[in-house]
């Protein structure tokens, strides 16, 4: 038995996106036997300050050995929530992270899929989530009376909802799928957990998001200056 694991305490990131624990190795083993922890379940070894799949913990491997080969093969063919690390490479905020770090980040999120015409979020609804658009096309719109005004269109590699995630404010526009779309959704609670447990991953992401927000603010400021200047010259 690995002495590091034997004396450690563990937190379990379950399929319902809740974290359970801390528990010692004996209780964690019981959870495995009861079918509450699976080979690919994400587990934090607190003393070592690292997340890993349950099957990577030496004392637990014997309990997973009884799983059928088909089950093991299927569970490892694709991440638990269906998102690959390489899909996040299209987002500049992840440029400084390794694939292993991206895999850990993905575990904190949830895959969202939408069909053409499906409303992903509505204006004025409560908001607490950030979305990373993996594929497809979306449209942000405002409905004023009977008019449907397009604010912008988004394609794979863009993110939205970051203000709502940080501030938990109501949504400022509708977002509608223009085609089949796949998104990774990250709630404010999940991001806070990531920040507390894996700051080395959260820090570069936060810096990248700050740069995105600063660029948007700069663009809007320049647009306002141009409009103000044009109005002045017209007068």
Can you give the pLDDT at residue 136?
96
The tens digit of pLDDT for each residue in 122-152 reads 888 888 889 999 999 999 998 887 788 999 9
Per CATH, the architecture of 85-225 is what? Answer: Sandwich (2.60)
Domain boundaries, the chain: 3-77, 85-225
Can you give the pLDDT at residue 68?
41
CATH class of 3-77: alpha beta
Which residues, given as ranges, of the chain have pLDDT below 50? 1-2, 68-78
Can you give the pLDDT at residue 16?
61
Burial 95-133 (b: 16+ CB within 10 A, else e): eebeeebbbbbbbbbbebebeeeeebbeeeeebbbbbbb
Query: Do 3-77 and 85-225 fold alike per CATH?
Result: no
User: What does the alpha-carbon distance between residue 83 and residue 146 come to, in Å, rounded to a whole number?
Assistant: 38
SS3 26: helix
Would you say 178 and 67 are in contact if contact means Cβ atoms under 8 Å apart?
Answer: no
pTM over 0.85: no
């Amino acid at each position: 038995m690995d002495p590091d694991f034997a004396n450690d305490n563990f937190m379990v990131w379950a399929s319902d996106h809740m974290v359970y624990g801390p528990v010692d190795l004996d209780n964690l083993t019981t959870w495995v036997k009861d079918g509450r922890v699976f080979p690919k379940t994400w587990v934090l070894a607190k003393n070592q300050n690292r997340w890993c799949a349950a099957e990577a913990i030496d004392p637990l491997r014997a309990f997973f050995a009884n799983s059928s080969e088909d089950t093991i093969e299927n569970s490892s063919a694709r991440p638990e929530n269906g998102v690959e690390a390489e899909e996040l490479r299209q987002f500049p905020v992840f440029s400084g992270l390794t694939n292993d770090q991206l895999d850990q980040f993905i575990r904190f999120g949830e895959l969202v899929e939408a069909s053409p015409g499906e409303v992903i979020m509505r204006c004025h609804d409560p908001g607490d989530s950030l979305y990373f658009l993996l594929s497809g096309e979306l449209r942000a719109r405002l409905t004023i009376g009977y008019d449907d005004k397009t604010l912008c269109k988004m394609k794979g590699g863009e993110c939205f909802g970051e203000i709502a995630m940080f501030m938990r404010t109501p949504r400022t526009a509708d977002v509608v799928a223009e085609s089949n779309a796949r998104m990774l959704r990250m709630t404010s609670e999940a991001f806070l957990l990531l920040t507390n447990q894996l700051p080395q991953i959260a820090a570069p992401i936060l810096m990248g998001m700050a740069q995105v927000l600063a660029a948007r603010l700069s663009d809007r400021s320049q647009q306002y200056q141009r409009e103000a200047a044009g109005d002045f010259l017209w007068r």
